[in-house]
Amino acid sequence: MLQEKLHTAHLQLMSRRQCCLCDDAKRVVKQAAEQGLCTWEVVDVDCDKALLVRYGNDVPVLLIDGEKRFQHCVSFAELHAELHAKRESVPC
């Protein structure tokens, strides 16, 4: 029997220091990762001049597999639905 391999999305959270919305988004993304729904990393836009120019104070921004999917806020329910849809749409 063939086992179906599910796509595990990689999330990049564009963030800045001392950003309460970024902290909220980190908690949501961490919860999704702990449930095995994704891998993730935080990208501090303050450490890259090009990213700082691109995003500035317009964070957090959440990229899923390189695509901008959420900006400013994301709930666990929204992220879960997006990741579930992504898993279903990616061919093995």
What pLDDT, in 10s, does the model give residues 7-30?
Answer: 799 999 999 999 999 999 999 999
Asked if residue 70 belongs to a domain, the reply is: yes
Kindly state the tokens that stand for 89: 């749409």
The count of domains in the chain is 1
Query: Taking Cα atoms as reference points, which of 64, 59, 33 lies closest to residue 48?
Result: 59
Cα(75)–Cα(73) distance, integer angstroms: 7
Residue 18 lies in a domain: yes
Whole-model pTM over 0.85: yes
Tens digits of per-residue pLDDT, 50-80? 999 999 999 999 999 999 999 999 999 999 9
SS3 per residue for 71-89:
ECCCCHHHHHHHHHHHHHH
* Domain assignment of residue 33, given as a range: 10-85
Q: Is residue 90 part of a domain?
A: no
**Distance, CA of 51 to CA of 19 (rounded, Å):** 16
